[in-house]
Amino acid sequence: MLSMTAFYLVFLIFICLVAYAGLDATMRLFAYMDLQLRYSWVRFRMVLMRRKLRQQLIKDLPQYNKTIKELQNNDRT
């Protein structure tokens, strides 16, 4: 019963959008919502990549500092 009501509600909203703004503007609205949804997914993936990179850099930091000290010592001699 709920799914049927939800279907009719979505259909009614779509019909009202077409009646108010026209078919072209309604399609542009759906295209805009699609782009926003895709962009939010990309931003979410970027947050995950940033977290992974930060953890990897923290893990590799002692080895990097050791290598830098060795290079500085070799330059002095």
Q: What is the pLDDT of residue 29?
A: 93
Distance between start and end Cα atoms, the chain: 83
pLDDT tops 80 at residue 1: no
User: Do the beta carbons of residue 17 and residue 29 sit within 8 Å?
Assistant: yes
Give the predicted TM-score (pTM) of the model: 0.63
Residue 77: pLDDT over 80? no
User: What are the residues whose beta carbons fall under 8 Å from the beta carbon of 14, sequence distance 6 or more?
Assistant: 26
Contact yes or no for 33/41 (Cβ under 8 A): no
What does the pLDDT look like over 14-71, one tens digit per residue?
999 999 999 999 999 999 999 999 999 999 999 999 999 999 988 888 888 888 888 8
| DSSP codes of every residue in 31-66 | HHHHHHHHHHHHHHHHHHHHHHHHHHHHHHHHHHHH
| Per-residue pLDDT, 28 | 95
- Under DSSP, the state recorded for 1 is -
